Amino acid sequence: MPKLAANLTLMFNEVEFLDRFAAAAKAGFRAVEFLFPYDFDKQVIKQKLDEHNLQLVLHNLPAGNWGNGERGIGCHGDRIAEFEAGVDRAIDYATALGCKQLNCLAGIRPSRRDPMEAREIFINNLHFAAARLKAAGIKLLIEAINTRDIPGFFLTNSAQAIDIIKAVGSDNLFFQYDIYHMQIMEGDLSATIEKHLQLIPHMQLADTPGRHEPGTGEINYDFLLPHLDKIGYSGWIGCEYKPATTTEAGLGWAAPYLK
């Protein structure tokens, strides 16, 4: 049965961030993920995880000025030193929090940057990060994101992600498969997941349109979630959706998986 992790960035947004750990545990989750921990003391987050017996399964590398619209700096040639410093900062947090997976956001390609040049910059940054994370016992993941929500995002589909993973040539680089983003960009969800299963240690879900909980849109999760069991997927699935009303009201779909 799929293992669900609460995404604390989008779920339980009726309460302050540090109170969402308790809310997730109360709802029956055993694991959580979120975008970034860096605005908080890592020991405070660790205390929340321990207090509520929660496992942190994923967070992101630093991604530039998020509040100002940046969505990662992995393909930015003038930010390499910042990227490398962010890798070390992420390792410091992940180690303290017991998190064994970190996601690297490629970012929005600078308008004057040639796509092939951006690809080479991203590959070089991933080569650096994958080695650093491997030494720390942490997996590095990359994520393709739809260009409707983030216009100009550099990494946009499964084929591109797999191509970049092969080009990096590291055994510590993997594909975080976001069902919501990939439904928008390419569809053919079940076959694509099965084809690349060995490179997918983590998934995220939401329905489309609206990016709300499963059952509110077009994705057939009644088929897809059992299919993941059938093909042997054993990783976590982060519930990275915006509740249509309240988080608690929208958790009915998840009840069988939170027993």
Q: Which residues are catalytic, by number?
A: 143, 240
Residue 160: closest CA among 138, 178, 144: 144
Tokens of 87: 């890798």
Query: Do residues 13 and 245 make contact, with C-beta atoms less than 8 angstroms apart?
Result: no
Name beta bridge partners: 103: 60, 141
Residue 109: closest CA among 77, 86, 139, 81: 77
Tokens of 73: 């700096």
- Report the alpha-carbon distance of residue 70 to residue 197 in Å, rounded: 30
- Tokens 């009201």 -> residue: 249
